[in-house]
Chain A
């Protein structure tokens, strides 16, 4: 791709010369950070121009984990797209399942049973908690606070034990189905969740006590990677990173779904929009999620977990083997799949990193005509290069951890 004609190349432009600056270009050292550097969390790369240890300019690159999620969806029936969504934000896979399933449900115009909605709320909040725990733990270990990593990953593993029992997999759970959830909760789920919630509260307060008044931690995070509210909004930031700038915007409150408006929880906001705020917004959001889980568990009443809409849900096996209609229904769904009506839909949910949206175009067949995933990480990463300019390399690492880029979601 050649640059546009109207851009003056630095070689032709002499205006750069009359700018008086202490830094001469000969003093600059160019360093690639990533894509395979342990501190760059996966596959992120920035090229930094360093003057001493200060980043004068940075250019971010992405795409190392690009695997064509959107194209792949066009080749698969709707129900089979769900496992692909697991691999978007693999730290909180169920939330991606929910985002996609909700968009298809909106397209088909169906509502899911109450028990399925509550199960989705509980599993989504559990996923939000582990996502935040990973972010906090990894961020703190990047800036040298190793103990917190054990505290957060310890309870994270306990949550994964529950999810594994529930769906058979730790990370790529593939638990949500269009029209409901794959299977009902197991016996003793409620008790285990309550017990793990107590452990999480304990772990979070342990981390809080270790960091809150820790001089080194405060120096490393306060006023580091600061972004103003206006800039964050213009950069399309959503979720905890936007709230850390003091903008009280949460889709669970602003555009409630799954009866989130009836749950009692607070939107956590920061004041400065620095790394410290982003870490602590997440920390307190874990506690709010636990409040939601607690209320949701009380609401759990027996009932179906899958819609009875014949266009969407497979009939119970007793009908498949016992009646001609059930058998036909089963084969029709297996062979022709879910066929939403022609149209376009955009639906978004509050995922752990912000607004996760799916724009789906249906042409009336069993394959989506076009799927576009709006990933919150992309917006965060687009602003990252500007965020680290003027700081040191170590600050860049602290900032990167706090905006929690998940490469699977970023590169799709």
Chain B
């Protein structure tokens, strides 16, 4: 099985920052220290025996109502896939309630940009170094993070100001070397 192969390779390599390796429901899981996430991800992506070149998803979980709790309130799971070796891996980190933040990996995988925005929006996890940590699914003026266990499902918010998206547009144009003059004059 490819899954048990991942465990063997990871154990052989002995990557710094990995605290625990375990198997659950046919999926290899590793727990890493939150500070080491970038280094571990870079290694997993670049190592020729692993080549985890695809980020499948980022899942944030609020464990505050979980029976007997977990190590910390928030858990974050990065699902990785290696197309070359046909392997999967879930990289987990636990984040404290006081500091729900982790380094961004938007420069390692293109889709991490939006996935991290979704985690911020839904669960309130900050991604340090993310260039544009805006809400993705909810409205920009939304208050709170709906997938946290303390957000009641029936709390509604009336939001009517549409997002003109010009903040993102300004940044995009600047990357292309065009400076928005019109907006400056207005303000």
**Is A56 an interface residue when CB atoms closer than 8 A count as contact?**
yes
Which of B54, B132, B173, B180 has the most chain A CB atoms inside 10 A of its CB? B54
Q: Which residues of B contact A49 (CB under 8 A)?
A: 169, 172-173
Among A3, A17, A361, A374, the residue within 8 A (CB) of B56 is A374
Partner pick for A28 among B25, B134, B178, CB 8 A cutoff: B178
Inter-chain contact B179/A3, CB cutoff 8 Å: no
Within 8 A of B (CB), among A202-239: 231, 233-236
| Docked-complex contact A26 and B59, CB < 8 angstroms | no
Which residues of B in the span 146-187 have a Cβ within 8 Å of any Cβ on A?
A: 146-147, 151, 153, 163-174, 176-182, 184, 187
The residues of A that contact B153 with a CB separation of less than 8 Å are 68, 71-72, 74-75
Q: Which B130-156 residues have a C-beta within 8 angstroms of A?
A: 130-140, 146-147, 151, 153
Q: State the CA gap A384–B168 with chains docked (Å).
A: 15
Known contacts: A62-B137, A71-B147, A343-B25. The answer to whether A236 contacts B109 by CB under 8 A is yes
What distance in Å separates the Cβ of A208 from its nearest Cβ neighbour in chain B? 30
Chain B residues with a Cβ closer than 8 Å to the other chain, count: 65
CB contact under 8 A between A382 and B110, given known A3-B167, A16-B178: yes
Tell whether, in the assembled complex, residue B111 and residue A4 are in contact, meaning their CB atoms are under 8 Å apart.
no
List residues 43-66 of chain B with CB under 8 A from any CB of chain A: 53-57, 59, 61-62, 65-66
Q: Report the minimal beta-carbon distance from B68 to chain A, rounded to whole angstroms.
A: 9
> A21 near B177 (CB under 8 angstroms)?
yes
Cβ of B83 under 8 Å from chain A: yes
A63-B139 contact in complex given A16-B178, A56-B178, C-beta closer than 8 Å: yes
Q: Report B-chain residues with C-beta under 8 Å of the C-beta of A59.
A: 165, 168-169, 172
- State whether the Cβ of A345 lies closer than 8 Å to any Cβ in chain B: yes
- Closest partner residue, chain B, to A106 (CB atom): B25
In the assembled complex, which residues on chain B have CB atoms less than 8 Å from the CB atom of A26?
181-182
Pick the interface stretch among A6-14, A130-138, A299-307: A6-14
Q: Is A247 an interface residue (CB 8 A)?
A: yes
Interface of A is mostly: mixed
**B86: CB under 8 A from chain A?**
yes
Cα distance, A371 to B35, chains bound together (Å) = 26
Which residues in B have their C-beta under 8 angstroms from that of A47?
Answer: 164-166, 168-169
The residues of B that contact A144 with a CB separation of less than 8 Å are none
Q: How far is the CA of A374 from the CA of B171 in the complex (A)?
A: 28
A9 to B184, CA, bound (A): 11
- Flag whether A344 is at the interface (Cβ < 8 A): yes
In the assembled complex, the CB of A280 is this many whole angstroms from the nearest CB of chain B, namely: 22
B90 → chain A closest CB, angstroms: 7
Contact A378 B114 (CB under 8 A): yes
Please name the residue on chain B nearest to A369 by beta carbon: B66
Closest to B140 in A: A1
Interchain CB contact (< 8 A) of A23 among B26, B132, B171, B178: B178
A179 contacts the other chain (CB 8 A):
no
* Contact call B131/A7, Cβ cutoff below 8 A: yes
Which of A30, A231, A234, A363 contacts B66 (CB under 8 A)?
A363
Distance of A247 Cα from B15 Cα, bound (Å): 30
Q: Restricting to A24-38, which residues have a CB under 8 Å from any CB of B?
A: 24-26, 28, 30
Q: Is B31 an interface residue (CB 8 A)?
A: no
Please indicate the chain B residues that have their CB under 8 angstroms from the CB of A75 in the complex: 153
**Closest CB in chain A relative to B119 CB, distance in Å:** 10
Interface residue from B25, B169, B170 paired with A344 (Cβ < 8 Å): B25
**A66 at the A/B interface (Cβ < 8 Å)?**
yes
Within A366-403, which residues are at the interface with B (CB < 8 Å)?
A: 369-370, 372, 374, 378-379, 382-383
Q: How many angstroms from the CA of A234 to the CA of B170 in the assembled complex?
A: 25
With known contacts A16-B177, A343-B25, A363-B67, A234–B138 Cβ distance under 8 A: no
Do B177 and A25 have beta carbons less than 8 Å apart?
no
Q: Give the Cβ gap from A404 to chain B, nearest Cβ, in Å.
A: 17
A57 to B164, CA, bound (A): 15
Whether the Cβ atoms of A359 and B25 lie closer than 8 Å is: no
**Are the C-beta atoms of B180 and A71 separated by less than 8 Å?**
no
Q: Which residue of chain B lies nearest to A61 when distances are taken between CB atoms in the complex?
A: B165
Whole-angstrom CA separation of A21 from B130 in the bound complex: 28
Q: List 19 A-B contacts (CB under 8 A).
A: A3-B167, A4-B129, A10-B174, A13-B179, A19-B177, A24-B178, A24-B181, A25-B181, A30-B166, A47-B166, A57-B172, A63-B138, A70-B122, A233-B53, A345-B25, A359-B57, A370-B59, A370-B61, A378-B114
B interface residues with partner A (beta carbon < 8 Å): 24-27, 53-57, 59, 61-62, 65-67, 77, 79, 83, 86, 90, 109-111, 113-115, 118, 122, 129-140, 146-147, 151, 153, 163-174, 176-182, 184, 187
15 other A-B residue contacts (CB within 8 Å) besides A233-B54, A344-B77: A7-B171, A13-B179, A19-B178, A28-B173, A30-B166, A57-B178, A59-B168, A59-B172, A62-B137, A344-B24, A355-B56, A370-B62, A374-B79, A378-B111, A383-B111
